[in-house]
A and B are shown apart, each in its own frame.
Chain A
Amino acid sequence: MSKNIVSVVKINEGIVSRYIKPSFVEDNKILNEAFDLRDRTPPEEFVSFYLVKNSDENSMYKEAIKLLPILPKASGVMILLDIKESLEEINDEVEEIINFVDKSLPHCGLVYLTNNRMKIQEAKTTLSYLAKNRFKLVKNIS
């Protein structure tokens, strides 16, 4: 019997982008649901991000739009996250809580490594907090 060997390549640094639809942005807050596993047919195992070249902020937003496989809504937002910072802020316990993994770069995925509801809630809230300081409305990206 053969075994499927799946190799997982972790991404530990760089800047990643994610498009957030309008209903998950309210009063300059990015809601936790922006980081749900809801985008694809289950069993969805990761939250999609795109690795962008680390350059000036405006160029990163523009690149992020180009990398999207869909046409974003003008009232949606694009967020940028620093992978290293996100990992440090969320994996602050003995056991790791999230990872970023290669999903055929520049596509990469955020993976939750725990089923503990409270830890996931904290992780999502931290992601939302980090994102709320670094996002731009799609219509303002040019």
Chain B
Amino acid sequence: MYIKYETVETARFLTDDKRFEKSINHTVSYEEIWNNFVDDITFEFDLKTRKPLMPKDKTLNYTTFHKFEKAVYEYLEEKNEKKYLKDISKIALKNFLYLLPVFDRYSPSIAIDSDTGFIDTTFSTRDNGLFTALVTENGEIHYSRVSKGVKIYKFSGVAKIKDSRDFKHFSKVLEML
């Protein structure tokens, strides 16, 4: 994961009696920059131009973001032919993007689940197994880890996130990778 974008906001405060003015430099965390970006994002996909979702003046750069855009456009192309495929859930897209900084550390594969319109991610585990996580639109993330010891064993479950700023805590689940 790398982020080139960095901003320093200068916050100016006036005291009540207005005799003093002081300014402080307040560094906004990368996390908050990203979350603010996701808060405001609107999904305008254009199959003809493949217009990037990331504005040119933003240089926040996650490898997974490019994979995400590619997965979405590939799905939209397929849906162009197969009209019956589920629409992509824009809420699920947004939830996925809140998770993206956490996912980006592990370089997952990304695809759209055509049965639900949600976002599916696939990771390799350290013991040559697979971990998948389906990001839904209601804050649930359905995950499953499958690997082999003496026999095949699995850890599966549902993470339930109620506030967008809590998606980062899914990193605790990803520790099992």
Asked whether A and B interact, the reply is yes
Binding site for B on A (CB under 8 A): 23-24, 26-27, 29, 31-33, 36-38, 41-42, 89, 117-118, 120-122, 124-126, 128-129, 132
A-B contact list, 15 entries, CB within 8 Å: A26-B122, A31-B122, A33-B113, A36-B115, A38-B85, A38-B115, A117-B134, A117-B136, A118-B142, A121-B143, A128-B130, A129-B129, A129-B147, A129-B148, A129-B152
Task: Assess the A27–B124 pair: CB atoms within 8 A.
Answer: yes
- For residue A131, give the distance in angstroms from its CB to the closest CB of chain B: 10
Task: Assess the A42–B84 pair: CB atoms within 8 A.
Answer: yes
Tell yes or no: B63 within 8 A of A by CB: no
- Chain A residues in 8 Å Cβ range of B136: 117
Task: Assess the A27–B142 pair: CB atoms within 8 A.
Answer: no
By beta carbon, the residue of chain B nearest A92 is: B154
In the complex, the number of residue pairs spanning A and B with C-beta atoms less than 8 Å apart equals 84
By beta carbon, the residue of chain A nearest B71 is: A23
In chain B between 45 and 96, which residues have their CB closer than 8 angstroms to a CB of chain A? 74, 78, 82, 84-85
Give the CA-CA distance A34 to B163 in the complex, in Å: 32
In chain B between 104 and 134, which residues have their CB closer than 8 angstroms to a CB of chain A? 109, 111-116, 120, 122, 124, 129-132, 134
- Chain B residues in 8 Å Cβ range of A125: 130-132, 144-146, 154, 156
Q: Which of A42, A126, A132 contacts B154 (CB 8 A)?
A: A126
Binding site for A on B (CB under 8 A): 74, 78, 82, 84-85, 109, 111-116, 120, 122, 124, 129-132, 134, 136, 140, 142-148, 152, 154, 156-158
Give the CA-CA distance A118 to B116 in the complex, in Å: 12
Task: Assess the B84–A41 pair: CB atoms within 8 A.
Answer: yes
Give the CA-CA distance A72 to B52 in the complex, in Å: 31
By beta carbon, the residue of chain B nearest A36 is: B114
Majority DSSP secondary structure for residues of B touching A: strand
Task: Assess the A23–B74 pair: CB atoms within 8 A.
Answer: yes
- Chain B residues in 8 Å Cβ range of A37: 114-115
- For residue B41, give the distance in angstroms from its CB to the closest CB of chain A: 24
Task: Assess the B154–A122 pair: CB atoms within 8 A.
Answer: yes
Task: Assess the B109–A26 pair: CB atoms within 8 A.
Answer: yes
- For residue A120, give the distance in angstroms from its CB to the closest CB of chain B: 8
- Chain A residues in 8 Å Cβ range of B147: 129
Task: Assess the B114–A122 pair: CB atoms within 8 A.
Answer: no
Task: Assess the B132–A128 pair: CB atoms within 8 A.
Answer: yes
- Chain B residues in 8 Å Cβ range of A36: 113-115
Give the CA-CA distance A38 to B75 in the complex, in Å: 11
